[in-house]
Amino acid sequence: MSRRQLERGAALRGMVSPEGIVPLDAGFPLDGSGPDSDCNVLHLDMDAFFASVERLRDPGIGDAPIIVGGTGPRGVVSSADYRARARGVHSAMPMTRALRLCPDAVVLPPDGRAYRAVSEAVMEVLRAVTPLVQPLSLDEAFLDVSGARRRLGGPVRIAAMIRERIRREQGLTCSVGVAATRFVAKLGSTHCKPDGLLLVPTAGVRAFLDPLPVGALPGVGDKTEQTLARMGVRTVGALARHDGDLLRMELGDKAGTRLAELARGVDDSPVAAESVDKSVGAEETFDTDVADPGTVRKELLRLSERVGRRLRASGLMGRTVSVKLRRGDFSTITRARTLPDATDVGREINAAARALYAESGLQGTPLRLVGVRVEGVVPAGGVHRQLALDEQETGWRDVERVMDRVAERFGPGAIQSAVLAKRDENDV
């Protein structure tokens, strides 16, 4: 986080009017009927991400401030925890200056691989809620949860669930802003950091925005802020009330119109996922190459159930099941099978995956990675499965949905297939 971002965050925390802002413990209905009824956008921001990961990796650091960055004579700060930030340390600061401000800090070089691994785990949590996830960096993302409300409840409840899962599974904290628009949600997460959850309901947007400095708005850099200051515009409220023609004359048509809309809380930019999901998959790299077919089949079952959960969480189904099998020498093969009907049931996915593994000719071959994927996915609401004559509905979909609800409440390890709990892998 840059010095300018830190200053804007401080301005938010110091100047925002509480009117119309609903904190985590506000006590309103969390089923979507309360003030979050149209607030489908979440902005999640991990708290002091790099430094927090480092503290988890080495508990011996204790309460010492942490600075992540280059340690050489020209090194700069990549990240600092809140203890160091309180002393004035911020990203892009020369390390020599940072250590003058915070001489007792523990300085660690960045470990991109470790941060990416944790980031991927966090994004997995988000994508289990909705496929509409727009990562902005390793430690922040937008979500559109409109499609998850029927299954999980109102946006604030979803945000609280996400925060709890990240805390439980990763040992890290995050801050989440909830609003009807992206930029207000992002300002909300900044306002409630660290470790906060803040709803800005539509009715309270103007009360939230008006006292902020214009520099808090996206797209307002130093030059634009100086231009607005010469016009006597220093707060978002003043910008919202300013003559639009004058703004466009000074800032240009596009920039002037855009900033005037933002100042009034108007923003129709959608949450744009990296790509439209046409498949849903999961894979696992073994610590050591695995040749035992029983172990491989057990992992295929675990991955199939994970894919089924993701499909159901996203409201999707698919007909084509594929497996990825990577040998110890990194050569990889894939095999696919198209089912008679689309499915989101892990048991059905696993049956196809096991068959594909059996037909691959790689049983007994050491494998370093296996993966399961369902392709050609479509919204589940548009799929109507036709039972054949005398065919009985198995009920496995209902069973797995019950398992979903248990996992949502108690964590993904709270319930699993009996086969996965067996010690004898030859029974798989």
- DSSP 3-state of 7: helix
pLDDT of residue 426: 39
Tokens representing 86? Answer: 């309180």
Give the C-alpha separation, 143 to 166, whole Å. Answer: 15
What's domain 213-263's architecture? Orthogonal Bundle (1.10)
Per-residue pLDDT tens digits for 135-175: 988 899 999 999 888 888 889 999 999 999 999 989 999 99
**Amino acid at position 55, single letter:** R
Whole-angstrom Cα distance, residue 4 to residue 160?
29
Locate all alpha helices (DSSP H) within 42-129, ordered by sequence. 49-57, 82-85, 95-101, 112-129
- Taking 70 as the pLDDT cut, the residues of the chain under it are 1-34, 73, 274-277, 381-428
Rounded to whole angstroms, the Cα distance separating 237 from 249 reads 19
Q: Is 305 part of the annotated catalytic residue set?
A: no
* pLDDT recorded at residue 31: 47
CA-wise closest residue to 145 among 273, 300, 17, 308 = 273
The predicted structure's pLDDT at residue 323: 95
- Is 3.30.1490.100 the CATH number for 279-427? yes
Q: Annotated binding site for Mg(2+): which residue ranges? A: 45, 139
pLDDT at 277: 55
The residues spanned by each domain of the chain are: 50-112, 213-263, 279-427
Q: Which amino acid is at 404?
A: D
| Contact criterion met (CB below 8 Å) for 347 and 270 | no
What pLDDT was estimated at residue 296? 96
> What's the residue count for the chain?
428
pLDDT of residue 292: 95
| C-alpha span between 260 and 239 (Å, rounded) | 7
Measured at the alpha carbon of residue 4, what is the angle toward residues 90 and 249, in degrees to the nearest 5?
Answer: 170
- What is the Cα Rg of the chain in Å? 25
Question: For residues 50 and 110, is the Cβ–Cβ distance under 8 A?
Answer: yes
Burial 296-311 (b: 16+ CB within 10 A, else e): bbbbbbbbbbbbbbbb
Query: Coil, strand or helix: which one is 200?
Result: coil
In the CATH hierarchy, which fold is given to the domain comprising 50-112?
Answer: MutS, DNA mismatch repair protein, domain I (3.40.1170)
Instruction: Write down the catalytic residue from 54, 140, 305, 348.
Output: 140
Contact (CB, 8 A) for 118 and 170:
yes
Binding residues: 45, 139
Q: Assess contact for 210 and 237: CB atoms under 8 A.
A: yes
End-to-end CA separation in angstroms for the chain: 49
The single-letter DSSP state of residue 262 is H
Q: Among the residues of 109-181, which ranges form H helices?
A: 112-129, 149-152, 155-170
